[in-house]
Amino acid sequence: MHVEYKVSLPDHNWVVAERRKLIPTLYAGIDIQKDGLGRIEAVGCSGPKYIAIRSRKRTTSTAYSHGLDFEKFLELPEFDKITKFDNAVKPVVVFVVDGGPDENPRYQKMIQVGVHHFRQNNLDALFIAANAPGGSAFNRIERRMAPLSKDLTGLILPHEQYGNHFDAQGNTINPKLEEKNFEFAGKFLAEVWSAVVLDNYPTIDEYISAENSELNRESLEEVDDKWFSTHIRTSQYLPQIVKCFDVNCCQKVQSSFFTIVPSRVLPAPILVCHTVEGLKAPINRADTEKYKFPSLFATQILKANELLPRSVESSYKVLPYDLYSPSMQSVLPTHVCKHCGLYFESYVMLKENIICVHKITGKCQPEVGRVKPLRIDARRKQELM
C-alpha cells in the first residue's frame, strides 16, 4: 500500500468455516528506544512476536484466553527486554488491541482481566487502547501480519495425519481423532511461523490445548465498586487502571509515570485552535475541521476551563475522556454520575457506582427523552446519499 493512500480498513477477519479452523492470536512487543521522552520516533514497530494457536472447535478467543497468553509470554526470555526490568514486570503496561468482541476495551470482562494483571504484577498503570472503527490498519501489529501471511502462500496443513475423522458427507465421526489431527496441524503451523525473523526479532509459536486455553476465572482478583471508581477510568477507546496514593490501598509507586502525569490519569483530549482571542476549544463540536488535538504535554499545561466554552466547562465536575468522541456525543451527559461527577462509558458501570458507592437506589439518573429514528433513505430518496 502506498504511503500516500488514505488507510481505512475494517478489522481483519479469518476465513469463515464450520468451526474447523485454527485461530492464531498474535502478540507483538514494541521495542522503545531509551531516553526518548516526547519523541514519536522512539516508539517503533519492531519487537518479538508470540503467536498462540488454538482449535476453533475446541476453544474460543476471549478476554480470558488473552489473559492466559499474556501470562505465558511474560515468562518467555525473548520478551524480557520488552516486559521486564530488574527481573520484575515493568510497572507501566500499554495494550493496543483491535477492538474486536473478544478484546473490546469497553467490555467488563476485558477490564476485569486488566485489573487482574494490574494487581498480580503490582503495576503503576495499565492502559488498554483501541483504534476507532476503520482504523485497525494503523495498529502496529498489522505490520507483523503481512510477512506471516506471506509464509502461508501455497502452504497446505495436514488434516488427517493420524487418519480420516470425516465421513463421506464431511461430518466428524471421531472427535478424539479430530482433536489429535487439529493438534498436529497447529504444531505444524507453529513450526512454520517459528522460522520467521523480522528486524532480527524472533517469532515464538505455541499450540494451546483445549484443557488449558483460558485463565481460571475463579483465580481472578476481584475488586469492589469503590476500588473501581478510585482506580479505573473508562472511555470508548482507552480504559485506564492507575494506582492511588493511599499506602493502605496500593503499594509504593515504582515508575516516573506520576511525575509525567501528576493528575494520575491521562487528561481528556481537547480540540483547540488559534483564534483572535487566543487558543479556544470549539463551541459546536460538529464544526471541528480547523481544530487539532495537542500533545499530552501541551494538554496538561493548557487550562481546560479557559479553553472550553462556559456551557461545556460548567456541565462537568470532571471532564470525561470521551468529551470529543463523535460516537458518544448523544449519550455523554447520561453517562456522568450526578453525585461524584465521574464519567462511565457503560451505563451498567454507572448504575453500579451509584448503587454500591453512593448507596442510592431507585431511579439512578434522570431519564433522557428518546429520539425517534427517522427513515432518512425514504424521506430523501431522490438525493444521492
Interval 119-167: pLDDT, tens: 999 999 999 998 887 777 777 887 788 788 888 888 888 878 888 888 8
pLDDT at 292 over 60: yes
Mean pLDDT of 240-263: 92
- Number of other CB atoms surrounding residue 271 within 10 Å: 18
Kindly write down the DSSP assignment for every residue of 99-150, as one continuous string.
--TTT-TTSHHHHHHHHHHHHHTT-SEEEEEEPPTTBGGGSTTHHHHHHHHH
Output the CA torsion 107→227→220→238 (10° steps): 30
pTM, to two decimals: 0.84
Task: Look at residue 1 in the predicted model and tell me its pLDDT.
Answer: 44
- Mean residue pLDDT of the chain comes to 84
Interval 9-57: pLDDT, tens: 555 555 555 667 888 899 999 988 888 877 888 888 889 999 999 988 8
